[in-house]
Amino acid sequence: MDEINTEILNEEETNEEDFEAPIEENPFNTLYENSFTVIDLLKDLDKKFETKIKVDEHKANLFDNLHKELMDYKNGLVTQIVNNILLDIIQLIDSNNKTINNFKQKEFSEENYNKLINIIKGISEDLTDILYRQSVEPFSITEDVNVRKQKIIKIIPTNDKALDNKIESSLALGYEKEGKVIRPERISIYKYKESEENLNEDE
């Protein structure tokens, strides 16, 4: 009996020695390993962010430079056009001053008067040429009133119904540049007004 008990105890001890409890994984080790992964991801994200900032800054600089070049070109072009107009006007002033000095030394006569009129007409023609060189052209409409291109300055009463709202005369030419009106033509128009005789007859 004692031998049997001894064998049973020996078997239990053997079984206890053979059995090994599973080793539990330390959660701190996993967290430590994962922390390196997160750090790597953050570093990669930081690099991408810096790269994007540099690209955006480069684009902004390109845009600023392009805008500056465009404005410089525009300002230079406008300045060149204005300078050309100013030079034309200066030359016209010089020519006009010479004419004035010449006529101061002449006696008044019908011949000199007619010459002066022609010179004044020539000044208008010279100014018109300056406008032509800037693609500005005069226009005049003699048919029906065009409210987009004409401005009524004066009303002329008329007893003729057929002339009502018709153009009486052009008071000043209109000017347009490439189809766009710069200044409308100044005109006078007829406006029908029934005469007193007709009113008395109706009564």
pLDDT tens digits along 89-146 = 878 887 887 887 787 777 888 888 888 888 888 888 888 888 888 889 999 998 899 9
Same domain for 142 and 128: no
Same domain as 128, residue 145: no
By the 8 A CB rule, do 168 and 185 touch? no
- pLDDT at position 35 over 80: no
> Are residues 127 and 143 located together in one domain of the fold?
no
Both 74 and 119 in a single domain?
A: yes
Give the number of other Cβ atoms within 10 Å of residue 189's Cβ: 19
- Read off the CATH number of the domain in which 180 is found: 2.30.22.10
Q: Looking at the domain assignment, is residue 7 inside a domain?
A: no
Structural domain range at position 118:
69-97+105-134
pTM of the model: 0.53
CB 187 within 8 A of CB 167: yes
* Termini Cα distance of the chain: 160
Question: Total domain count for the chain?
Answer: 2
User: Could you tell me how many residues make up the chain?
Assistant: 203
* Arithmetic mean of pLDDT, 151-179: 93
Determine, yes or no, domain membership for 154: yes
Is 39 part of any domain?
no
In a domain, 3, yes or no: no
